[in-house]
């Protein structure tokens, strides 16, 4: 894989990950762009012990552009996009409308002094383009391309983890307008947070309480593999299963069989084995109702500096669709109290996924 670093017209970094060593990446961004926005503002909620990012500049981000003005397609003589080259394999670049950024402006005074501290929203947000094909999807990628994407995730996780203003790196993909996607081009994002996220803190607290009995994540994986009823697919290095406590109608977790803290820690065989299994799961998901399923794919990685021995890298994939023409909405119980009510038994969901003809 060839890695080429360049910069866009406003100074944002762009990195090409090419599958060919002879790829030429000398195209220059010719656009006239305003300077990138300053970092957002973070406010700490004393009641929930969580940070909230206030990023008002994101109101002006690109929203459902015509397909011939997609900012993630390769540039053409008629349209200059975020990618100057006329073609590419995988590209990562700094988000033009970031929730977190290293471009920190002047500090603001605290909101409700003594109760609501305020900090700059330091960190970084990046966009990952999986392919130059506007009409593709992750499920249509080749295993070789999935390996390139995985290498890009590993590269970016390792690089962002060296930053003083980053405490956790989150790689994810949102797919489908039902999820809220505003750019249909196949892509994901990376958030480098300046704090450990609430979800991760809660999981690691559970793992810490279980520590005397072994690693909690490893024990759950072993139990699911031994039971087998909710296993959707597996190979020598990975298992994909519907968790017994699935919150979403169709939710699959992918675990490597070896405990590692993050994507860079995966070995060569584990990286090679991931693509085929993940593509199978995505195609089973799409084959469920004969249409592209909306989903969120979220990599759970260890924090950069704390509790890395407790963490266990895994991918959580879930869809908001519960049946053809019906979506799972986070209504009163889920949104108000954080208590999920699932309309589909996890065992039934796993069986439906296994029965899809590929």
Is the pLDDT score of 60 beyond 90? no
Q: What phi and psi, each to the nearest 5 degrees, are found at residue 241?
A: -145, 155
Assess whether 6 and 47 both reside in one domain: yes
Judge whether 129 is annotated as a binding position.
no
Region 29-53: what's the mean pLDDT? 96
Assess whether 277 and 230 both reside in one domain: yes
Assess whether 13 and 114 both reside in one domain: yes
Judge whether 73 is annotated as a binding position.
yes
Assess whether 55 and 128 both reside in one domain: yes
Give the catalytic positions in this structure.
187
pLDDT tens digits along 219-256:
999 999 999 999 999 999 999 999 999 999 999 999 99
Region 298-307: what's the mean pLDDT? 98
Region 257-279: what's the mean pLDDT? 98
Assess whether 180 and 297 both reside in one domain: no
Assess whether 190 and 213 both reside in one domain: no
pLDDT tens digits along 105-137:
877 789 999 999 999 999 999 999 999 999 999
Assess whether 54 and 189 both reside in one domain: yes
Region 171-184: what's the mean pLDDT? 95
pTM of this structure: 0.97
Assess whether 226 and 78 both reside in one domain: no
Going from the C-alpha of 35 to that of each of 9, 92, 106, 153, 199, the distances in angstroms are 9, 19, 16, 27, 33
Judge whether 7 is annotated as a binding position.
no
Boundary-marking domain end, from 149, 170, 196: 196
Q: At what angle do helices 346-355 and 268-287 cross, to 10 degrees?
A: 90
Boundary-marking domain end, from 150, 176, 196: 196
The confidence score (pLDDT) of residue 213 equals: 83
**Mean predicted lDDT score pLDDT of the chain:** 96
Which residues constitute the domain of residue 134? Answer: 2-196
Boundary-marking domain end, from 180, 196, 212: 196
The confidence score (pLDDT) of residue 211 equals: 84
Domain of 118, CATH number, reads 3.30.428.10
Alpha carbon distance 276, 237 (integer Å): 11
Assess whether 115 and 159 both reside in one domain: yes
- Residue 15 in contact with residue 1, Cβ under 8 Å? no
What is the distance, to the nearest Å, from the Cα of residue 254 to the centroid of all Cα atoms in its chain? 14
Region 281-288: what's the mean pLDDT? 97
Number of domains in the chain: 2
């Amino acid at each position: 894989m060839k890695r080429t670093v360049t910069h866009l017209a406003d100074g944002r970094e762009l990195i090409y990950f090419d599958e060919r060593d002879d790829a030429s990446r000398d195209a220059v961004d010719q656009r006239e762009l305003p300077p990138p926005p300053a970092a957002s503002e973070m406010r700490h909620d004393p009641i929930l012990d969580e940070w909230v990012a206030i990023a008002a500049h994101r109101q002006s981000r690109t929203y459902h552009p015509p397909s011939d003005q997609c900012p993630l397609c390769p540039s053409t003589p008629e349209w200059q996009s975020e990618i100057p080259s006329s073609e590419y394999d995988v590209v990562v670049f700094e988000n033009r409308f970031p929730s977190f950024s290293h471009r920190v402006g002047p500090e603001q005074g605290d909101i409700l002094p003594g109760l609501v501290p305020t900090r700059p929203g330091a960190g970084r947000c990046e966009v990952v383009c999986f392919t130059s094909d506007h009409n593709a999807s992750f499920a249509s990628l080749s295993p070789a391309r999935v390996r390139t994407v995985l290498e890009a995730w590993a590269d970016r996780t390792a690089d962002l983890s060296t930053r003083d203003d980053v405490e956790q790196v989150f790689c994810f993909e949102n797919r489908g307008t039902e999820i809220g996607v505003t750019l249909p081009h196949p892509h994901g994002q990376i958030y480098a947070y300046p704090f450990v996220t609430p979800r991760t803190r809660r999981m690691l607290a559970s793992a810490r309480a279980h520590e005397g009995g072994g690693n909690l994540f490893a024990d759950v994986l072993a139990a699911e593999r031994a039971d087998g009823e909710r296993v959707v697919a597996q190979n020598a290095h990975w298992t994909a299963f519907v968790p017994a406590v699935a919150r979403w109608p169709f939710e699959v977790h992918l675990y490597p069989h070896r405990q590692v803290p993050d994507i860079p820690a995966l070995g060569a065989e584990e990286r090679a084995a991931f693509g085929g299994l993940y593509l199978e799961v995505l195609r089973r998901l799409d084959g469920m109702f004969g249409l592209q399923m909306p989903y969120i794919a979220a990599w759970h990685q260890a924090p950069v500096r704390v509790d890395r021995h407790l963490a266990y890298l895994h991918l959580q994939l879930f869809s908001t669709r519960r049946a053809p023409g019906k979506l799972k909405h986070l209504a009163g119980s889920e949104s108000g109290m954080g208590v999920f009510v699932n309309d589909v038994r996890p065992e039934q969901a796993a069986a439906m996924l296994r029965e899809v003809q590929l």
